[in-house]
Amino acid sequence: MPDGTPPFVHIEGLKRHFDVSPPWLVRLLERRGRQIVQAVDGIDIDIAKGETFSLVGESGCGKSTVARLVVGLYGPTAGHITFDGNDIGQRRGRTQTSALRRRLQMIFQDPYASLNPRWRVFDIIAEPIRAFGLAVDKADLEKQVGDLLRQVRLTPADGRKYPHEFSGGQRQRVSIARALASRPEFLVCDEPTSALDVSVQAQILNLMMDLQRRFGLTYLFISHNLAVVYHISTRVGVMYLGRLVEQAPTDTLFKRPKHPYTRMLLDTIPDLDLTGRQRVPVAGEVPSPINPPSGCSFHPRCPFANERCKRERPQLLPIEGGAVACHAIEEKRLTIEERSYANAR
């Protein structure tokens, strides 16, 4: 952080490995070793209060694992996550944990799976209020839930309904209302709009931006959709195979992308103005995180890779207000080009 104050959310050297080995006997008979998926393999992120930090990447790059680590659904294999000065992984007393959890909530991808179908919407939204003891009496609880429903552009009368009576977009509004119920400061959003239609996606994104302005919320936004990320975020981190390959302020990342993977992702976005034009398809696919390639994990797909890239893992080095992990950029083999998007409508 430039001014020396500790960042609101600080993630340092975060790792999470999953053991996907076959059972012990099978390993013994087939003489195979353990298999470890390095889902998140050393990530550092700082998020300032009131900003939206987005993580983008293809499926399997570990972005959702980061989200789950940050809210404490997984414990980290190594590294720390500090939230407003408190270490999330550290064990502490029940009241302290509860106080921390109240300030940190999550919105999930699938609004069909994340709401209990047997509960009325009122109870779904009231649960965090009850759990954290935020309402003085029943009338207060009803007022709070009603206000929350209005904030997400539903009506208090909707509280009597069950989740199945709502459309996907409305259910996602209910999830947002539930996440806001405990008056959190930090929201982790794991692909909140990818299950929704575009017109509904626009409604939800607008709602999220309105709520952020109104309550000064901080977002960690996980998405695979670069166009969505472009609209909602202050800063963006690009993940590839469990590592951050580039992070930068949004405008810098989209105008002057540096890492070859970021450039590739930007090249492959289908855009409305591409009518008739050919997208440049990229060769290759994301390798398995069980056996990541040596050195820079992107080197098998990278047109600029050389011997050093195969051997040595690049470190994130600061550049133009962001950071990039690429030997070609470091050695200045690869020039940074300005991108223009002619489609400003």
Partner 1 sequence: MATGRSVSNNAPLLEVRHLRVEFPTRRGTLLAVDDVSFEIAAGEVLGVVGESGAGKSLTGNAIIGLLEPPGRVAGGEIRLEGRRIDTLPYEEMRKVRGAMMGAIFQDPLTCLNPLYSIGRQLVETIQTHLPLPAGQARKRAIDLLKEVGIPGAEQRFDHYPHQFSGGMRQRVVIALALCAGPKLIVADEPTTALDVSIQAQVIALLKRLCREHGTAVMLVTHDMGVIAETADRVAVMYAGRVAEIGPVREVIKQAKHPYTKGLMGSIPSLGHRADRLTQIDGAMPRLTEIPKGCAFNPRCGQRGLRCLVERPNLMTAGGSLAACWLHDRQGVGGAVAGELADA
Closer residue to partner 1, CB minimum distance, 96 or 288: 288
Site string for partner 1, 34-73 (x = CB under 8 A): ------------------------xx--------------
Report d(CA 183, CA 200) in Å as an integer: 25
Q: Classify residue 161 as exposed, middle or buried by CB count within 10 Å of its CB (0-12, 13-18, 19+).
A: middle
Residue 335 within binding range of partner 1, rule CB under 8 A: no
Residue 293 within binding range of partner 1, rule CB under 8 A: no
Asked if 141 contacts 181 with a C-beta cutoff of 8 angstroms, the reply is no
Site string for partner 1, 104-143 (x = CB under 8 A): ----------------------------------------
Least separation in angstroms between residue 77's CB and partner 1 is 26
- Binding residues for partner 1, rule CB under 8 A, total 53
* Angle at CA of residue 116, ends 110 and 117, nearest 5°: 95
C-alpha distances (whole Å) from 324 to each of 246, 259, 343 are 4, 6, 27
Contact pick of 182, 201, 218, 262 for partner 1 (by CB under 8 A): 201
Could you tell me if residue 289 is left (phi over 0), alpha (psi between -120 and 50 degrees) or otherwise beta? alpha
Asked if 174 contacts 152 with a C-beta cutoff of 8 angstroms, the reply is yes
Residue 337 within binding range of partner 1, rule CB under 8 A: no
Report d(CA 184, CA 16) in Å as an integer: 25
User: Where does this chain touch partner 1 (CB under 8 A) — which range of 28-36, 75-83, 108-116, 283-291?
Assistant: 283-291
C-alpha distances (whole Å) from 163 to each of 120, 166, 167, 171 are 7, 6, 8, 7
How far, rounded to the nearest angstrom, does the alpha carbon of residue 164 sit from its chain's CA centroid?
Answer: 27
Q: In the chain, what is the straight-line distance between the N-terminal and C-terminal CA atoms, in Å? A: 35
Closer residue to partner 1, CB minimum distance, 224 or 308: 224
Among 46, 45, 55, smallest CA distance to 3 is for 46
User: Where does this chain touch partner 1 (CB under 8 A) — which range of 11-19, 85-93, 96-104, 225-233?
Assistant: 225-233
Contact pick of 48, 200, 319, 336 for partner 1 (by CB under 8 A): 200
Contact pick of 29, 131, 274, 317 for partner 1 (by CB under 8 A): 274
Closer residue to partner 1, CB minimum distance, 155 or 278: 278
Closer residue to partner 1, CB minimum distance, 167 or 291: 167
* 3-class secondary-structure state, position 38: strand
Residue 164 within binding range of partner 1, rule CB under 8 A: no
Residue 315 within binding range of partner 1, rule CB under 8 A: no
Q: Which residues bind partner 1 (CB under 8 A)?
A: 58-59, 167-170, 197-203, 205-206, 209, 224-228, 230-231, 251, 254, 264-283, 285-286, 340-345
